[in-house]
Structure 1
Amino acid sequence: MVPLGEETPLIGERSCSLSSTETGTLQVFLYHRARHGGPDAAGLDGAGVLTFTFGEYTAEELCVRAAQACGVLPVCHSLFALATEDLTCWFPPNHVFTVDDSHSQVVVYRIRFFFPNWCGLGQSHRFQLMNDRASAVLDYPVIDYLFAQSRSDFVGGRAEVALSLQTQEECLSLALLDMLRIAKEKQQSPQETFSCVSYKSCLPEQLRCQIQQHSFLTRKRIRRHFGKSLRRIGGCRPDGRFLKLKYLLDLERLQARWAEESFRARAPTAAVTVHVAGGSGVSWSCDGAEVRQHFCDFPDIADISIKQASRDGSPAESRVVTLTKTDNRVLEVEFPSLREALSFVALVDGYYRLTADAQHYFCKEVAPPRLLEDLESGCHGPISSEFAVSKLQAAGSRAGLYLLRRSPQDFDSYLLTVCAETRSGPDYKRCLIRRDEDGRFVLAGVPRRFCSLRELLGTYGRCGLQAEGARLRLAACCPPQPKGGTAGCSPLHCDTPRASLPPLPVPPIPLPSPLHMANSY
């Protein structure tokens, strides 16, 4: 294998530009591939790109295909979205991409929705490691993807990091963790990895340039101290995913505005910047001002609307977005284009589903197609079997009461839980429903296919069905309830403390301040 040097691309097998040379294709760039892939792994090339040819695809459909290729389960699917190639704008889930001969398109599959402390070290834990099963918040494939995306942003200079002396040393500590991870994944000793991978390839571009400006002797001195530190902590033999978690935690502390999106817009009286973050909700500031005005947390939003702006009585390209709170306070801002307005609204809309009501959308312009299907058929999201049973129990557990939900494990499966009366009391039988490649629905073990879930449920509601050796009837549906049932408890939202993670087997990095020493010569 050719040794990795200072000029080696930061993401394996990725060129300087993602732009496709093929016309008539839509390419979805992935930061991390699942080791064994999913149903669509065969369409995944070595560059981490899914390629789609002629036809129409919704952004949500592409996200599902990407999730399957990356091993992301349905319970974490709502954390992801598609961004433009330059990462300046995001597509709402119902955006339709048309692929034809006229041009090629490139989009990036990214985690867009973040929450503070979801790696388990804060008082409100949003993370729990589970071996080979779906987690209530983040599972291993999502951690892998979050690490790959965050590392790409860090070394590519997209993460906002002020390069003070202390920050430079923290960046070198992150590079140490990265080198240990590379050694672990390549099954090499840290010394072997250090001999063929430049430590500067694990640093932000700005810091790499700064180090490169030092004299040869100073650069050699920094490299020698880095190597000593790598050998010193190399004996810990930490697990690769714990190294990734440590990296993510340290990177979060390093960035002042971690996981926040800002939008330039105009208020009725001045130019403003609107800020959106999972931990702080929506706030705004006047251009050039550091003081921010907090507008609302996501559960406080009552309505969002988008309308076309007008100039001198004529329609304009810009769009006016109005956020209304439950106390009737209003934030009205004007975005330069529909694209930017939809990017903003889709972000707030998505955070609302993750924190307040998983079955809600504010306006049809950004409504996820799968959510519309669920609302039409009375289907819950990818909730667990235990939660489904508890919902039926809360509804009275009458014989024939049933609950339909999406599978937490498979994007193309649904699970039907039905109350049945037995001699020992209420029991709960489960049926599997599959969606085939033609979009038709099939009850497991039955050859008949249906055009919709409503048709399937209506048919078996009239004639009954067999499940787990029992004859069942479908008498009444237990649908999602706004803010209180499934809708009020997103699978990714948890405010109550969880069991803390075991201590990370990575001690504090004993880096001997190589840059400080270099500056003193």
Structure 2
Amino acid sequence: METFEVVKVWVVIDSTVNSIPCSDTCTAEELCIALCKKYKIPPLTRTLFALRVKGSNCFLKDNFNVLSGSREYEFRIRFKVPVLAHLITLDEMTYDYYFQQARNDVNSNSVPEIKYPDHKKELLGLGITDMFRAILEEKISLKDAVRNYKNHIPKVILRRHGHFPKKYALETIPTILVHDVNYVKSQYLQQMYTLAPNYLAEEYCDVQWQTGKSVVLVHLHVAPFHEQQPGLRLYNSITREWIHIGTIEEIIYLTRNGDNCLEVSRRGTPLFFKFKSEEELSSFISVCDGYYRLMVKWTFNLSKDDETPSLKDLHRLKCHGPVGTTETYRLEFKGDCYQFNNEQYYSLDHLVKCHQNPEGRIYLKECIPPSEYVQRKGVRIDQAELQEILKDNKSPRCLSTKDIMLYIALLTSGSGTCIYTYAPARTGLYASACCVLPCAGE
């Protein structure tokens, strides 16, 4: 019989602490999914979130049992989306969560790159911008916003400058002519990105770098969008130099070697590190793995000892989960028929007609091409069928070079947006289209 114990989770957009009963098998991923459902975060952006140990900089890996830790966690967006316009188009609720998290970090002086007094004016400007945002979004008066100015001005400014921000707000806010709250939020975040271009980067201090017989203490830095050294880099405490390890895409796998030791296999010589604790080691593995799945290949875990539970289940079931906010099914062409949901159909029209009832078990709304990592044999498509497939399609198609078969004495003909290449006395073209998934930063 399962036992349940309470876990406390702090959420940026909720002033009330969540007390959630969890079973002794509940993982960090399961708890994140439950919180996403509660706060209307869709599956499309759920993987940006993770649980951070309260009072620490360490995050939980997906398969961590939440009852075996501190039982006090923070629900945060862990993975950075470098282009803010992309995030708001994905989901407005996630965008708002990102904004609220960023303003909380700024106000609590939790962004290492933003320092007082170097950025004194900018910090005050961010506070005034947030006050104006509250006036627009919460429909409050200037008088009410100024009365609650301590909720918006960074704490370091309040400590050093007393009531000056209050006076400055009364003089400045009436001169602002913008009335779009999302524009105000975007300007706040853009200014923060200018001050802290590596916001959400993670640093692991006093890590032992094992090079041959010598050991050097280094700081490991994970910042996939760093301008000069994107991905992984380390600071050598002896030479006092930054060394670029490689990009996220260049990581091949991460291997635990016992006693908090880790091998980083990359394109080049592997590196060996020893972390101060299991918590830091797991946090480092999970941030690298998370970015790898978002930017390179979402169906692959870098560490076989730290598998994502939901991904493990999908591999076991030999299927993939939702791509958007609805269920997605895989469609395969077997040469003489189409296979869909373990059933065979002689044509696409037949398949669609069988699933046009919105009240049915499966309502076929949209067909999505398979991932570029799905291994498929070449499929022969005759010219008439190719015309039928492409006649209503105005977008370009990318053909993988390894899937194109070369014929001698090829002829090319076409009109409009369709071009066909075929061999004389033949009616076929061997090819398969591939769908390229963009990196998180594109």
- On whether the aligned pair clears a TM of 0.5, the verdict is yes
Whole-angstrom CA distance in 2 between matches of 1:111 and 1:63:
11
Name 1:147's counterpart in structure 2: 99
Task: Tell me what 1:119 maps to.
Answer: 84
The verdict on how the C-alpha distance between 1:338 and 1:488 changes in structure 2, with shifts beyond 3 A counting, is farther
Instruction: From the superposition, tell whether residues 343 and 324 of structure 1 become closer, same or farther in structure 2 (CA, over 3 Å).
Output: same
- Residue 354 to residue 489, structure 1, CA distance change in 2 (3 Å): farther
Aligned residues: 368
Q: Is the 8 A contact 1:418 1:428 kept in 2?
A: no
Q: Could you tell me how far 1:66 is from its partner in structure 2?
A: 0.8
Match of 1:482? Answer: 373
2:224: which partner in 1? Answer: 278
Q: CA deviation at 1:251?
A: 1.1
3-state SS, counterpart of residue 381 of structure 1:
coil
Quote the residue 2:337 is aligned against. 399
Are the aligned partners of 2:28 and 2:66 in contact in 1 as well (CA < 8 Å)? Answer: yes
Deviation at 1:430, TM superposition (A): 5.4
Q: Distance in 2 between matches of 1:91 and 1:271?
A: 24
| Cα offsets for 1:227-274 (capped at 9, x unmatched) | 1111111x42223x3322221111111125322101120012210011
> 2:346 is aligned with what amino acid?
E
Report the alpha carbon displacement of residue 79 of structure 1 after superposing the two structures with TM.
0.8
Identical columns (%): 20
| Aligned-partner Cα distance in 1 for 2:190–2:84 | 7
Moved more, 376-385 or 67-76: 376-385
Query: In structure 1, how many angstroms separate the alpha carbons of the residues matched to 2:292 and 2:306?
Result: 13
Trace 1:382-393 onto structure 2 (pairs within 5 A): 382-384=322-324, 392=331
Query: Are the equivalent residues in 2 in contact too, given 1:60–1:369 (CA < 8 A)?
Result: yes
**Could you say which structure has the greater relative contact order, defined with CA pairs below 8 angstroms and 6 or more residues apart?**
1
- The 2-side partners of 1:494 and 1:417 are apart by 36
Partner of 1:323: helix, strand, or coil? strand
Instruction: Measure, in 2, the Cα distance between the counterparts of 1:155 and 1:372.
Output: 39
Cα separation, 1, equivalents of 2:280 and 2:356: 43
Corresponding residue to 1:182 among 134, 146, 150: 134
The offset of 1:381, in angstroms, is 3.5
Q: Give the letter aligned to residue 27 of structure 1.
A: K
Equivalent position amino acid for 1:227 in 2 = L
1:353–1:360 Cα contact (<8 Å) kept: yes
Report the Cα offset of residue 110 of structure 1.
Answer: 0.7
Tell me the TM-score normalised to structure 1 length: 0.63
Partner in structure 1 of residue 406 of structure 2: none
Moved over 4 A (4+): 384-389, 395-398, 416-419, 422-432, 478-481, 487-492
* 1:261 alignment counterpart: 202
Contact 2:338 2:347 in 1 (8 A): no
Q: Distance in 2 between matches of 1:339 and 1:397?
A: 51
Match of 2:283 in 1: 343
* RMSD across aligned positions (CA): 3.5
- Aligned-partner Cα distance in 1 for 2:42–2:30: 14
The 3 A distance-change label for structure 1 pair 150 and 429 is farther
What does 1:342-421 correspond to in 2, within 5 Å?
A: 342-384=282-324, 392=331, 399-402=337-340, 420-421=345-346
Q: Is contact 1:266-1:333 (8 Å) kept?
A: yes
Conserved in 2, the CA contact under 8 Å of 1:374 and 1:380? Answer: yes
**Offset at 1:210?**
1.4
Once the 2 structures are TM-superposed, how far is the Cα of residue 328 of structure 1 from its aligned partner?
3.8
1:98 partner SS? helix
Q: Per-residue deviation at 1:387? A: 12
| Paired residues of 2:8 and 2:72 also in contact (CA < 8 A) | yes
**Quick one: structure 1 residues 468 and 60, their matched pair in 2 at CA, closer, same or farther if it must change by over 3 Å?**
closer
| Residue matched to 2:75 | 109
Which runs of 5 or more residues in structure 1 are unaligned?
1-22, 34-45, 121-125, 130-134, 213-218, 310-318, 403-415, 433-443, 447-466, 470-477, 496-521
Q: In structure 2, the residue corresponding to 1:108 is in which secondary structure?
A: strand
1:39-438 equivalences under 5 Å are 47-53=16-22, 55-98=24-67, 105-116=71-82, 118-120=83-85, 126-129=86-89, 135=90, 139-160=91-112, 161-164=114-117, 167-194=119-146, 196-198=147-149, 200-212=150-162, 219-220=163-164, 223-233=166-176, 235-239=177-181, 241-255=182-196, 257-264=198-205, 265-268=207-210, 269-279=215-225, 280-287=230-237, 291-309=241-259, 319-325=260-266, 327-384=267-324, 392=331, 399-402=337-340, 420-422=345-347, 427=352
Letter in 2 for 1:291: E
Counterpart amino acid of residue 169 in structure 2: F
**1:439 corresponds to:** none
Q: Distance in 1 between matches of 2:127 and 2:50?
A: 28
For residues 1-44 of structure 1, the C-alpha deviation after alignment (integer angstroms, 9 at most, x for no partner) is: xxxxxxxxxxxxxxxxxxxxxx94211211125xxxxxxxxxxx
Does residue 30 (structure 1) correspond to residue 17 (structure 2)? The answer is: no
Deviation, 1:55, is 3.7
SS class of match (1:358): coil
Query: Which secondary structure does the structure 2 equivalent of 1:308 belong to?
Result: coil
CA offsets 1:108-128 (integer angstroms, 9 cap, x no match): 111111142x213xxxxx435
- The Cα offsets for residues 278-322 of structure 1, whole Å up to 9 and x where unpaired, read as 31111111137663111111111112101113xxxxxxxxx1111
TM-score (norm 2): 0.73
Contact persistence 2:254–2:302 (CA under 8 A):
yes
Q: Give the Cα–Cα distance (whole angstroms) in 1 for the partners of residues 103 and 335 of structure 2.
A: 49
CA distance in 2 between partners of 1:150 and 1:423 (Å): 47
| SS of aligned partner of 1:224 | helix
Aligned match of 2:397: none
User: Which string of whole-angstrom CA distances, capped at 9 and with x for unpartnered residues, describes residues 393-413 of structure 1?
Assistant: 7x57863423xxxxxxxxxxx
